[in-house]
Amino acid sequence: MTDTKSRKYDAVIFGATGFTGQYIATEWARTAKKDLRWAIAGRSLSKLEAVQSQVRATTAYEKDIPIIVADVFNESAMRSMCASTRLLINCTGPFRLFGEPVVQACVAEGTHYVDITGEPQFIETMILRYNEDAITSGSLIVHSCGFDSIPSDMGVVYTSKQFPNNGVCSSIETFISLQGNSGHATTYECIVLGLASAKSLKTLRSTSRVEIPYVGPKLKVHSVGFDKRMNKYYIKFLGSDASVVRLTQKHLVLAKSPVQPVQFSVYVTFESILRFIPIFFGALFLLTFGYFEWGRNLLIKYPAIFTFGWFSHEGPSQEEIENSGFSHQFFAKGYKDKNNTEGNPDWEVVAKVQGPEPGYLATSSMIVNCAYVILDGEVKERGVMTPGAAFRSTSLIDRLQNRGIHFTVSTNQSIEEQSTKQDDSN
């Protein structure tokens, strides 16, 4: 175990010059406790100086913001950056291209680490390669601490905790609704590269399979459909959420936790069937061109053309960001008595997580609060893990509630009671 208390910084924000990194540095300057010592880092001094001035101007932050210059591919710079801090916030992506040297250096130096990756292959590879070493060196590495995949993963934690004391959650269906949806080109690049390597992810998973002892009927996962409860069309969400939530359930099993693992599915909803058309053609472009290297280069070079303006090199404007938001609706089924899980579920919980613009506002709030939880010593476990595994028993949800990311419950009752109410109202 490395003792990191006497290090120069409590936190370093690496990749602070990126579109998202700048939001994260600003959120940190606005909300961090006054006594936290922190720095911004990246590969370009001039860009970092510009971020430093901009953060100070927009937040009226009065103290100095130190700068560390480090390139991902310079091992000694990585090691010395990671050795200077108790925790590193990584915003350099695509993570499949730039993430591993950062994780490796943090693990080697016993430094805690959080990131905003939404790339399952990267996350699953890091768990396989670095979990044991991270436990030995005393570092806690938590992936996916942004919109990918805090709402889903912590939403599952929150929803399953609503079941009666002696009860248990069996499955959760989740529906994501987005108001306004544009993003910066790098996120789209991650999607293109991720879809192109779907086969190797399958191979990777076949080497690390763990039997998860779910209870209740097997949850059916659909590709597309119409959900009456949401009154909306939906398609299966191809982001990292399902993978991250599954990794959290796997962690519960491997850690021999008494918490019951939960089956999970996640969909994106649409108000009208017309919204399907651009999605359909966008997906078609990705799947056909994305298969070939020349096609991927083309897709990545012209994001705005191939996504009908959803992703661009300029990223969303301030106005677009202010007019956006997200909500995740969780429909959970389970049992009021964990010792009686034969037959159909008899208990239902409906919960929601909602917040501001997901990719940059909510993401920056989520990751800095994950960092505060770790710096305050709330997580005792070490290793490479997902948010639901690391933050299950911490104050993260309360902290997020205070920052405008709301977790609420609308239904918590026996399924019998629910159908009686419905019969009465008909």
Ligand X SMILES: NC(=O)c1ccc[n+]([C@@H]2O[C@H](COP(=O)([O-])OP(=O)(O)OC[C@H]3O[C@@H](n4cnc5c(N)ncnc54)[C@H](OP(=O)(O)O)[C@@H]3O)[C@@H](O)[C@H]2O)c1
Task: Check residue 15 for interaction with ligand X (CB under 6 A).
Answer: yes
Q: Name the H helices within 110-206.
A: 120-137, 150-160, 185-196, 198-206
Q: Which is nearer to ligand X, 98 or 372 (CB)?
A: 98
Tell me if the bond preceding 94 is cis, omega within 30° of 0. Answer: yes
Among residues 4, 10, 13, 17, the one that binds ligand X under rule CB under 6 A = 17
Applying CB under 6 A, the span of 11-19, 210-218, 401-409, 412-420 interacting with ligand X comes to 11-19
Applying CB under 6 A, the span of 134-142, 181-189, 291-299, 407-415 interacting with ligand X comes to 181-189
Record the tokens describing residue 425, joined without a space: 């109202």
We find the least distance from the C-beta atom of residue 342 to ligand X, in angstroms, to be: 39
Among residues 27, 32, 43, 348, the one that binds ligand X under rule CB under 6 A = 43
Among residues 147, 267, 347, 372, the one that binds ligand X under rule CB under 6 A = 147
Record the tokens describing residue 281, joined without a space: 């053609």
Do residues 118 and 240 lie in contact, with contact meaning Cβ atoms separated by under 8 Å? Answer: yes
Q: Which is nearer to ligand X, 348 or 357 (CB)?
A: 357
CA angle at residue 333 from 224 to 408, to 5 degrees? 90
DSSP 3-state of 392: coil
We find the least distance from the C-beta atom of residue 15 to ligand X, in angstroms, to be: 4
Among residues 9, 28, 98, 407, the one that binds ligand X under rule CB under 6 A = 98
Task: Check residue 329 for interaction with ligand X (CB under 6 A).
Answer: no
How big is the site for ligand X, counted in residues (CB under 6 A)? 30
Task: Check residue 38 for interaction with ligand X (CB under 6 A).
Answer: no
We find the least distance from the C-beta atom of residue 150 to ligand X, in angstroms, to be: 8
Q: How far is CA 385 from CA 135, 200, 222, 251, 292, in A?
A: 11, 21, 28, 8, 32
Q: Name the H helices within 255-310.
A: 276-289, 293-301, 303-306
The answer for residues whose C-beta is within 8 angstroms of residue 141's C-beta and 6 or more apart is 103, 106, 107, 112, 113, 126, 130, 134, 383, 384, 385
Residue type (1 letter), 300: I
Task: Check residue 21 for interaction with ligand X (CB under 6 A).
Answer: yes
Task: Check residue 93 for interaction with ligand X (CB under 6 A).
Answer: yes
Task: Check residue 363 for interaction with ligand X (CB under 6 A).
Answer: yes
Do residues 69 and 12 lie in contact, with contact meaning Cβ atoms separated by under 8 Å? Answer: no
Among residues 11, 13, 87, 118, the one that binds ligand X under rule CB under 6 A = 118
Task: Check residue 90 for interaction with ligand X (CB under 6 A).
Answer: no
DSSP 3-state of 342: coil
Binding residues for ligand X, rule: CB under 6 A, are 15, 17-21, 42-44, 47, 71-73, 91-95, 98, 116, 118, 146-148, 184, 186-187, 190, 359, 363
